Chain A
Amino acid sequence: KNEVEQSPQNLTAQEGEFITINCSYSVGISALHWLQQHPGGGIVSLFMLSSGKKKHGRLIATINIQEKHSSLHITASHPRDSAVYICAVAANYQLIWGAGTKLIIKP
């Protein structure tokens, strides 16, 4: 079993829909990162969080340390949000990466 599991693996939705991507992990962590990989391949960091909730524009990330679970939400989704979203957890001074969730937003 992978230490970091993301769900769903693939998600297709219509423009405007509320999107939720989940990340569950099985190890003790000090922080959790959400990143976005664009169709062209570039990877950018979206959030780093160790408790609670963070918001940036239409993106919201939450984490529940007790349940070892984090969610990434996108409100009012747009085709430009189409990308792979990657969760990575910081444990024992290393990052453990999820396999990513491929999101497609149709106009």
Chain B
Amino acid sequence: IAGITQAPTSQILAAGRRMTLRCTQDMRHNAMYWYRQDLGLGLRLIHYSNTAGTTGKGEVPDGYSVSRANTDDFPLTLASAVPSQTSVYFCASSVVAGNYNEQFFGPGTRLTVL
């Protein structure tokens, strides 16, 4: 693989179900991010990780959890999905954390919660 991959590409999920969105990068980037994108709104940061073993909360963390067991993987888990979590989810990474670093984005996961 080259760059960032996300899985699944899309998913329809019943409310109350648990779901994990996967994100893997092969660029050995230290920092990784999860965003959601909703119509008419800018990207909103859910959680981030500056380096393996550390995570932090973004602007809209409620209802989501992340882990960063190694450099390459940064899964996002919805413990009990709700319809308001219907969105397009983007994973991104950068060489290191910080404002000056270009972020590279995955192709996105379109999630619908019914």
User: How many B residues have CB within 8 A of the partner chain?
Assistant: 20
Q: Is the CB of B99 within 8 A of A45?
A: no
- For A45, list chain B residues within 8 Å (CB): 102-104
CB distance from B24 to the nearest CB of A (A): 16
Residue of A48, A86, A90, A93 touching B42 (CB-CB under 8 A): A86
Chain B residue nearest to A91 (CB atoms) is B99
Task: Kindly state the separation between the CA atoms of A40 and B107 in the bound complex, as whole angstroms.
Answer: 9
Q: Is the CB of A93 within 8 A of B105?
A: no
User: Could you tell me which residues of chain A, from 1 to 52, have a CB within 8 Å of some CB in chain B?
Assistant: 2, 4, 29-31, 33, 40-45, 48, 50
Could you pull out 10 A-B pairs where Cβ atoms are within 8 angstroms?
A: A29-B99, A30-B100, A31-B99, A33-B103, A40-B107, A41-B107, A42-B108, A88-B42, A95-B45, A96-B42
* B binding-site residues for A, Cβ under 8 Å: 40-45, 58, 88, 90, 92, 97-100, 102-105, 107-108
Can you list the 5 inter-chain pairs with the closest CB atoms, starting with the nearest? A90-B99, A97-B42, A43-B105, A97-B43, A45-B102
